[in-house]
Amino acid sequence: MDQKFKVGIIGATGMVGQRFITLLADHPWFDIAVLAASARSAGKTYEEALGGRWVMTSPLPEKVKSMVVYDAVADLKKIADAVDFVFCAVDMKKDEIKALEEAYAKAECPVVSNNSANRFTPDVPMVIPELNSDHIRVIEAQKARLGTKRGFIAVKSNCSLQSYVPALYPLDAKFGVKDVLVCTYQAISGAGKTFERWPEMIDNVIPYIGGEEEKSEKEPLKIWGKMENGAIVPADSPKFTAQCLRVPVSDGHMAAVFVRFENKPTKEEILDVWKSFSGRPQELELPHAPKQFLHYFEEDNMPQTKLNRELEGGMAVSIGRLREDTQYDYKFVCLSHNTLRGAAGGGVLLAELLCAEGYITPKNKLS
C-alpha cells in the first residue's frame, strides 16, 4: 500500500476492541485515528475510560493512552468524516447495532463488523477470507440499496464456527460433506469476560451459551451460500447440529467434529486437502494471513488450547485426532483463537482483503 488508511475502532474499550488496538498498533496499512465507545467512556482519555479494564497480555500501547474517546452514537458524523473506515464490536441491542452500522455506512464510512446484527442481511457479505472471499462482490448491490458511494457493511462470522468450518469447507468441495455434528468448548473471553470478572467459571462448565447453537448451525450455510440477484442465498447443505459449552479457559475455542461425506475419502486424502489448502489472503500475501491456514497435528494429545491457540499469531486453525468413527465417517478436533481469528484478527484480515481488492480506498484518493 502506498498510503495508510485511517481507521476508527467502535467499541474500543471492550474485549474485542482491545484486541483491535493490539493488532493495529503497528499495522503496516492501518493507522488508528479514532477510538469510540458508549457515552460512559466519551470525553475521557482511553486510559481513563478503560479504568483498569485492559486485559491484554501486551502493555497498553503508548500512542492510544491519551487519545480522547468519542461517543460512537452522538459523534457518528465527526467519526465518519475523520476515518477511511471503522471496525465495530459493541455490546448493544441487535436493532441498535443494525441501525448504528447502517448509519455509518450511509455516512459513507465502510464498517467491518464483529457483531451479529447484520450477519443475515442478504446483501451484507459474511466472510472468512480464505473460504468465501468472492462474496464481497455483493457489496455493489448493498451500496445501490443504501444509496452510497463508498459506505457499506461487511461482517465476519461468529467465533465458534471459525474452528470447524475452515476444516470442512475444502473437504466439501472435493468429497461433498453431508452431515456434521459438532460440540464446541468455548473460552470465557468469548463472553467478553476474564476469570476475575467471572469467578463462577473457575472449576466449572456451563452447558449453555445463549444463541450460540443456532449461530453455529445456521451461519455456516451463509458462508457456503451463492450470490444471486444482489444477495447471498444460503446453501441448504451440509446439515449441521451443534452443542456449545462454556469451559474454564481464558482464550481459544475447541470443537469436536463428526462428519459424514457423499463420497467417503481416505484419511490420507483428507490430510492432503488440509495441507494444500490456501485462499485469497495467502495469494494476496495480506499482512495478517497465516502462511499455513490449516495445521494438522499427528500427536494424539494435540492440539491443546494453551499450547496452540497463538499459532501463526492466532490466525491459523489447528486440527488433530482425525480417525474413523462408528456412526459417522470420521471424527476430529479443531481449535482456533476466539478473539484473534474468531474476532478482531478475523476483522483485520477481512479489512485487509477489502482494501487489497479495492472496496475500501483512502478518501483522498477518491475523485
Ligand X SMILES: NC(=O)c1ccc[n+]([C@@H]2O[C@H](COP(=O)([O-])OP(=O)(O)OC[C@H]3O[C@@H](n4cnc5c(N)ncnc54)[C@H](OP(=O)(O)O)[C@@H]3O)[C@@H](O)[C@H]2O)c1
Burial (CB < 10 A; 0-12, 13-18, 19+), residue 149, is exposed
> CA-based Rg of the chain, rounded to a whole angstrom?
20
> Beta-carbon neighbour count of residue 106 at 10 Å?
15
Stretch that binds ligand X, among 36-44, 168-176, 216-224, 231-239 (CB under 6 A): 36-44
Active site residue 288: no
In the list 41, 118, 163, 184, the residue contacting ligand X (rule: CB under 6 A) is 41
**Interface with ligand X (CB under 6 A), residue from 23, 32, 64, 72:** 72
Which residues from 263-282 bind ligand X, rule CB under 6 A? none
Q: Verify binding: residue 342, ligand X, rule CB under 6 A.
A: yes
Pick one of 23, 64, 76, 89: the residue that binds ligand X (CB under 6 A). 89
Q: How far is the CB of 328 from ligand X (least distance, A)?
A: 28
How far CA 61 is from CA of 70, 87, 168, 254, 339, in Å, comes to: 18, 18, 37, 30, 18
The helix (run of H) or strand (run of E) holding residue 273 is helix 267-276
The answer to whether 121 touches 146, Cβ cutoff 8 Å, is: no
- Least distance from C-beta 91 to ligand X, angstroms? 4
Q: Binding residues for ligand X, how many (CB under 6 A)?
A: 28
Query: Which of 60, 46, 32 has its CA nearest to residue 348?
Result: 32
Residues 102-121 that bind ligand X (CB under 6 A): 114-116
Beta-carbon count within 10 A of 358 CB: 7
- Asked if 90 interacts with ligand X (CB under 6 A), we say yes
The interface with ligand X within residues 13-32 (CB under 6 A) comprises 13-17
Does the protein bind ligand X through residue 139 (CB under 6 A)? no
In the complex, what is the shortest distance from the CB of residue 272 to ligand X, in angstroms, rounded to a whole number? 31
Place of cell 481464558: 250
Shortest distance in whole angstroms from residue 344 CB to ligand X:
8
Site for ligand X in 169-208 (CB under 6 A): 189-190, 192
Q: Which stretch binds ligand X (CB under 6 A): 23-31, 33-41, 56-64, 259-267?
A: 33-41
**H-helix or E-strand spanning residue 351:** helix 345-356
Site string for ligand X, 147-176 (x = CB under 6 A): ------------x-----------------
Q: Does residue 159 have an active-site annotation? A: yes
Neighbouring C-alpha atoms within 13 Å toward the C-beta of 60: 18
- Of 6, 7, 8, 11, the one binding ligand X (CB under 6 A) is 11
Tell me the closest approach of the beta carbon of residue 194 to ligand X, in angstroms: 10
291 is a site residue for ligand X (CB under 6 A): no
Q: Which residue among the candidates 88, 109, 159, 334 is catalytic per the annotation?
A: 159
| Residue 249: half-sphere exposure toward Cβ, Cα within 13 Å | 22
83 HSE (CA, 13 A, CB side) = 30
Residue ranges in 67-202 assigned as alpha helix (H): 76-82, 94-106, 129-132, 139-146, 161-175
CA separation for the pair 31, 191 (Å, rounded) = 27
List active site positions: 159, 253
- Interface with ligand X by CB under 6 A: which residues? 11-17, 37-38, 40-41, 72-73, 89-92, 114-116, 159, 189-190, 192, 338-339, 342-343
